Structure 1
Amino acid sequence: MLIETFADLICPWCYIGKRRLDRALMQRPGLRPELRWQPFQLNPDMPRGGMSRDDYLAAKFGGGERARQIHRVVEDTAARDGLPLALDRIQRTPNSFDAHRLVRIAGRHGLGNAMADALFAAYFVEGVDIGDRDALASVAAGLGMDFAETRRQLSTDAESASVHAADALARQMGLQAVPCYIFNRRYALSGAQEPASFLPLLDLGSEEPENLSVVSG
């Protein structure tokens, strides 16, 4: 079964949603899915170096109090899921393009899914600026990849075209928010759904890809 996850590495609901998908997969131990990460940039016009977290939240939510309200909802949800989260450690909101490239680069070594997990943890638990190429190479080194070689690849246009193409495809498909999970290129489940919501779609794993149907939540 092919499961494609359209998400952004700086999206807290994508972080929560990924954990919930993993929990659902644990309930189907006989399933051997092929998991593919598909990039979607929530802020495609973000400056290359990112921006101050406070400035970003003020621009996105119209002020600190509104941002704090939204953060409380995210933090409460993550806590109920037993998911570590430390939003107060985040000092900058990064441009996530290079992080998406790194997931693709790691995928060449069979580490794409592990890299997505590592980047989520680096950003949401440790407050790492995952727009910084040295920081990204350090995360890769933690998974056994060579720091210098990863840093070199990030200084080139490695996987840039594929990230642009996948992001463009998501928008052509009508995706305006993430996470969105597509099963066998036939059914899509949007939002950070509870694990039980994934199970009926996981049970369709033997079906062949046809036309896409979207299940919203």
Structure 2
Amino acid sequence: MLIDIFHDTVCPWCRIGKKHLFDALAQRQEQEINIRWHPFLLDNTVPIEGYEFRSFMQNRKGMKAEEMQQMFDSAQRAGEAAGVKLDFDKISLAVNTKLSHQLIALAPSNVKNDVVEAIYKAYFEDGLNIGNIDVIVAIGTAYQMDASELRLQLNDDAAVDKVVAESTFARLNGINSVPFFVINNKVKVNGSYSVKAFLETLNRAALLDIPAKI
């Protein structure tokens, strides 16, 4: 089964959607699953040093402080129900996510899903600046990636351009929000869904993939 996941690493609903999907996959116990991660930059205008998180979010969403807190509380409750932690009090910076997506692209296939989760944890639980190269290199080295080589790769302008190009391509092809999932190149899921809904969708995608009998 092939699953394409479009996401951003500062999107709480992307982390929730990932958890729901992986819980559904665990129940199906697919023999072979190929997951491809695609960047979707929610805001590529954020500088390397980041912006103060709450004021940035208020301006971006056009919300009052009380409304924004309600939004955070709602996402946090959804995260708790899914089994993931979203600690918005720990987050001090709105960050640029290009480096985190570069790391995901560079990560070996056998640890790529774990690296994605480690990036989410660094931001949503530890409040780290995942737009900072030292933070990203530290995550990569925790998965046996060479620090010196990784720094060179992360500083490659062509790699940065590729992340931006992939994100732009997704938007040009009608993806306007994340998480967004495409299963077996046929079934599309826009949103974090529930485990039950993902199971139903995965089952439908599997049936569509069965060759017709002659």
Alpha-carbon deviation of 1:100? 0.7
SS in 1 for 2:89: helix
Give a deviation string over 1:52-74, Cα, whole Å, max 9, x none: 11221221233321210100101
Give a deviation string over 1:96-133, Cα, whole Å, max 9, x none: 111111110114x5432221111001110111100000
Alpha-carbon deviation of 1:6? 0.4
Distance 2:114 2:59 in 1: 32
Alpha-carbon deviation of 1:157? 2.3
Distance 2:10 2:64 in 1: 19
Normalising by structure 1, report the TM-score.
Answer: 0.89
Give a deviation string over 1:143-202, Cα, whole Å, max 9, x none: 221222212221222532432232122112211110011011111101010011112332
Q: Is the contact between residue 36 and residue 113 of structure 1 (CA under 8 Å) also seen in structure 2?
A: no
Distance 1:18 1:188 in 2: 15
- The corresponding residue for 2:20 is 20
Equivalences, count? 208
AA at the equivalent of 1:71: F
Distance 2:59 2:4 in 1: 31
Query: After alignment, is 198-207 or 88-97 more displaced?
Result: 198-207
Distance 2:164 2:195 in 1: 30
- Following superposition of structure 1 onto structure 2, how do residues 55-204 of structure 1 map, counting pairs within 5 Å? 55-61=55-61, 62-107=63-108, 110-157=110-157, 159-203=159-203, 204=205
Distance 1:30 1:40 in 2: 27
Distance 1:162 1:152 in 2: 16
SS in 2 for 1:27: helix
AA at the equivalent of 2:82: D
Q: Is the contact between residue 101 and residue 158 of structure 1 (CA under 8 Å) also seen in structure 2?
A: no
